[in-house]
């Protein structure tokens, strides 16, 4: 009976939220993720555990599916139906919730793909860095160039509707979206990417019911759809709250109307919007309480944490446990849960989901493989004049390491944001030796050094294997090779391909010469 009451209270809370916000349907929220111990489980309206404790993370059900994360040494994301069965297996390194019929997922060493409720791939954004869920029929995505990340928009058919050009973006709402230009100013565009409110704001939030919160000169105000100020920039922060606004002034929170007139004096150290309820959660002193729309405290300060009312119930935290109260401040469900789902918190406080974006895990190995040339490295010839080789790179004589045979011609050339390349020329004699004996130094070999970072970490072996496939006409010497080092020979040249942690060396020398290096990269 106790479990049934707990379950019923949780269901009523979320159903009331969906109802009062006008979003979702009751079928979306019949099951609620509850954490007791280290795992999340789902319970139904009869108080029964419908889905056993087994997930390290769990979301609310959206569009019939819930995003969950498995347990174990290598937890992955997948989607379950209301019977607890995986409709889409937990195979993904990251994933978003479903929105407008699609969810973004990322597999290991792969780019983001949008899948439908059957797990079928509908869109792949091969070159993007990150992407957000669909809102208003559009999803924003970023790509990197030499300057940094640029954001654009793709539609649900996978067509790029607005080319990447913005430094940041918000989300589409009522055909409008906040975007940031390269000068750091925000404005608003329509669905065709046309600027409809000029770049002028330091920050800009999404439009809600015909108005949007913006910031200028470190102060917040509110504009209408034409960009005209309804509330001039004057507050430390503002949050939309239906027909009124929650604002921050001198470190304290209060409420004002849509003209900026204060209706509840700023006096609270923290506060949540009313969100259509008659009560709002506020922090007074070091405890949370609830006030009415006149600013009067109705439920005395007593909670460690408190959230907006969702219909007749509100989620609160006391004595490190989660429970639910009614609008009189009485516990309907005593604090007893170890934690709430972060997704539930996100939805209760802002109507958003915790998992609304993913980052690509794709590391472009081809850009490295295509850069390596073992036949004529950097267009240079074996046996050619070493000084002529350095002249190609306009390297001054006094920049040589006087006692080394290996000299660096290229250092840290950027191949991608996660890989750099250095290139060494291996001379037949060091500059010092040449001074003593005279003659000309020839190119006895060359060495590529690839430094891996970011998304390339952990993929070094894959990179090494891919490069070795280019060694056509060379035979591998199994006796001299190991897991981290491979030796190849064709009778004329010898190739050593070796890993040093996150660094990969590809050294090509005239056959018969020692593979041990003496330069700045040698001897590792």
| Contact in structure between 152 and 167 (CB atoms under 8 Å) | no
Start-end of H helices in 199-355: 342-350
Q: What pLDDT is recorded for position 48?
A: 59
Q: Look up residue 378 and give its DSSP letter.
A: G
Write out residues in the chain with pLDDT < 50, as ranges. 1-28, 45-47, 516-524
Q: What pLDDT is recorded for position 396?
A: 56
d(CA 360, CA 457): 14
Q: What pLDDT is recorded for position 516?
A: 46
Q: What pLDDT is recorded for position 11?
A: 40
Neighbours of 417 (CB within 10 A): 18
Domain segments of the chain as ranges: 366-510
Side by side, which strands form the sheet with 211-216? 203-204, 211-216, 219-224, 229-235
Q: What pLDDT is recorded for position 402?
A: 67
Give the pTM.
Answer: 0.78
Q: What is the DSSP string of 384-441?
A: SBHHHHHHHTT--GGGS-TT-SEEEEEEEEEEETTEEEEEEEEESS-HHHHHHH-S--
Q: What pLDDT is recorded for position 275?
A: 87
Distance of CA 286 to the CA centre of its chain: 33
d(CA 394, CA 99): 55
Three-state SS letters, 249-262: ECCEEEEECCCCCE
Q: What pLDDT is recorded for position 50?
A: 85
Q: What pLDDT is recorded for position 205?
A: 95
- Give me the half-sphere count of Cα atoms (radius 13 Å) on the Cβ side of residue 183: 7
d(CA 310, CA 312): 6
Q: What pLDDT is recorded for position 109?
A: 87
Distance of CA 122 to the CA centre of its chain: 21
d(CA 260, CA 223): 12
The values of phi and psi at residue 466, to 5°, are -65, -40
Percent composition of the chain: helix, strand, coil (DSSP 3-state, to 5)? 15, 45, 40
């Amino acid at each position: 009976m106790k479990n049934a009451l707990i379950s019923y209270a949780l269901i009523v809370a979320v159903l009331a939220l969906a109802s009062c916000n006008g979003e979702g349907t009751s079928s979306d929220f019949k099951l609620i993720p509850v954490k007791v111990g280290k795992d999340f489980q789902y319970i139904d309206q009869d108080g029964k555990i419908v889905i056993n404790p087994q997930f390290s993370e769990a979301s609310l059900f959206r569009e019939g599916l819930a995003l969950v994360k498995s347990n174990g040494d290598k937890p992955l994301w997948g989607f379950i139906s209301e019977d607890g069965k995986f409709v889409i297996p937990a195979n993904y390194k990251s994933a978003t919730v479903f929105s407008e019929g699609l969810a973004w997922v990322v597999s290991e060493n792969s780019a983001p793909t949008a899948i439908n409720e059957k797990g079928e791939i509908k869109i792949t954004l091969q070159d993007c860095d990150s992407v957000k869920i669909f809102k208003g029929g559009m999803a924003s995505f970023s790509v990197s160039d030499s300057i940094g990340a640029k954001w654009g928009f793709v539609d649900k058919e996978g067509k790029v509707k607005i080319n990447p050009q913005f430094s940041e973006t918000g989300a589409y709402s009522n055909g409008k979206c906040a975007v940031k230009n390269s000068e750091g100013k925000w404005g608003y565009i329509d669905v065709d990417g046309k600027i409809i409110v000029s770049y002028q704001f330091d920050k800009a939030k999404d439009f809600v019911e015909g108005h949007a919160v913006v910031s200028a000169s470190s102060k917040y105000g509110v504009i209408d759809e034409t960009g005209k100020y309804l509330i001039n920039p004057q507050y430390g922060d503002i949050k939309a709250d239906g027909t009124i606004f929650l604002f921050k002034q001198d470190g304290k929170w209060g409420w004002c109307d849509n003209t900026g007139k204060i209706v509840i004096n700023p006096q609270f150290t923290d506060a949540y919007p009313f969100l259509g309820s008659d009560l709002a959660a506020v922090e007074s002193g070091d405890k949370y309480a609830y006030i009415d729309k006149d600013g009067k405290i109705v439920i005395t300060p007593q909670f460690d944490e408190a959230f907006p009312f969702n219909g007749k119930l509100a989620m609160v935290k006391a004595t490190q446990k989660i429970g639910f109260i009614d609008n009189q401040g009485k516990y309907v469900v005593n604090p007893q849960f170890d934690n709430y789902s972060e997704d539930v918190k996100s939805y209760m406080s802002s109507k958003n989901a915790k998992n609304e974006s993913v980052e690509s895990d794709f590391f472009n190995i081809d850009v490295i493989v295509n850069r390596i040339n073992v036949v004529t490295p950097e267009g240079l010839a074996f046996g050619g004049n070493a000084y002529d080789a350095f002249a190609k790179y306009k390297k001054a004589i006094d920049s040589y390491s006087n006692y080394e045979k290996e000299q660096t011609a290229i250092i840290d050339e950027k191949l991608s944001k996660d890989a750099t390349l250095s290139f060494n020329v291996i001379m037949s004699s060091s500059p010092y030796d040449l001074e003593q004996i005279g003659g000309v130094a020839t190119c006895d070999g060359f060495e590529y050094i690839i430094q891996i970072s970011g998304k390339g970490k952990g993929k070094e072996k894959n990179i090494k294997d891919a490069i070795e496939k280019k060694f056509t006409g060379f035979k591998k010497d199994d006796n001299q090779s190991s897991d981290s080092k491979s030796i190849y020979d064709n009778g004329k040249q010898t190739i050593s391909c070796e890993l040093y942690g996150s660094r990969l060396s590809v050294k090509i020398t005239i056959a018969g010469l020692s593979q041990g290096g003496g330069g700045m990269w040698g001897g590792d």
